Amino acid sequence: MLTAANPGTWRIRGRTLSLERPVVVGVLNVTPDSFSDGGRFHAVAPAFARARQLVADGAHALDLGGESTRPGAAPVQADEEIARILPVLRAVKAELGVPVTVDTRKAAVARAVLAEGADAINDVSALADPEMAAVVADSGAGLVLMHMRGTPETMQTLIGYRDVAAEVADELEPRLARAVDAGVAPERIVVDPGIGFAKTAAQNLELIARLDVIAERLGRPVLLGPSRKAFIGALLGGVEASGRDAGTVGACVAGLARGARIFRVHEVRAAREALDVADAIFQAGAAWAR
């Protein structure tokens, strides 16, 4: 069983990412309607410039998305999603040398981006597309299974939980089993509790506080994606998405303390520096306790 004291590794296509130290993944949305930066990086040149900046700021990997999954977002056709992602993916893979995950819920998109060298698929629907597990299995790529109920259009109506941490683990467990049964090796899989997806602000806080439940139940590394989410804005008095980066850092450090090892953020430098310092303090405390 994976624990915070034994963070392990994440095996993604052709390489293994050590999780002994926190891993920071920089978000790059190549969409016109992302909740945080919609339209800023929709064209290839600004998207690649942003990718280069994220890497310079210390991103260990990039997460490339061509479809907004903010609450209420309408779906994008697979061919449009592919057209948005591929030119940026090709440029990043050719020049930057960092692993790239692609945020998609569609097997057709996954197949196309994996053929162009994507290292992992970040599936916010946790295999809602019945072909996704086999596509990832055949590629040797990594897989992120994120918890969400319904779709982005309906998820915020599906927020009834008695015990949010236990139920998120309960609902991810069969998706993890499905991936393994399809041939995705467990060491290629990480899990994401889905902060902001079919959860209230209070439920998001409870999930972060109880991430150890997710890690212990599922035995896989936990990826945390609180970046610029609405619950941070609410806690900070209603600040807009662009003003939530300091709050994001706070959520990431709290998540690290509860067992998360991978962190998906829009602004990398502050998150990486804070996580590195916090991790060093936690490691020193663990060493002293021994």
In the prediction, which pLDDT does 286 show?
Answer: 86
In a domain, 156, yes or no: yes
In a domain, 197, yes or no: yes
In the prediction, which pLDDT does 33 show?
Answer: 57
In the prediction, which pLDDT does 41 show?
Answer: 65
* Band of pLDDT at residue 3, cut at 50, 70 and 90: very low
In the prediction, which pLDDT does 40 show?
Answer: 66
In a domain, 15, yes or no: no
Enter the pTM of the model. Answer: 0.93
3-state SS, the chain, equals: CCECCECCEEEECCEEEECCCCEEEEEEECCCCCCCCCCCCCCHHHHHHHHHHHHHCCCCEEEEECCCCCCCCCCCCHHHHHHHHHHHHHHHHHHCCCCEEEECCCHHHHHHHHHCCCCEEEECCCCCCCCHHHHHHHHCCEEEEECCCCCCCCHHHCCCCCCHHHHHHHHHHHHHHHHHHHCCCHHHEEEECCCCCCCCHHHHHHHHHCHHHHHHHHCCCEEECCCCCHHHHHHCCCCCHHHCHHHHHHHHHHHHHCCCCEEEECCHHHHHHHHHHHHHHHHHHHHHHC
* Band of pLDDT at residue 32, cut at 50, 70 and 90: confident
In a domain, 87, yes or no: yes
In a domain, 91, yes or no: yes
Q: Domain of 260?
A: 23-285
Q: What is the CATH number of the domain that holds 92?
A: 3.20.20.20
Catalytic site positions:
229, 264
In a domain, 18, yes or no: no
Structural domain count of the chain: 1
In a domain, 5, yes or no: no
In a domain, 152, yes or no: yes
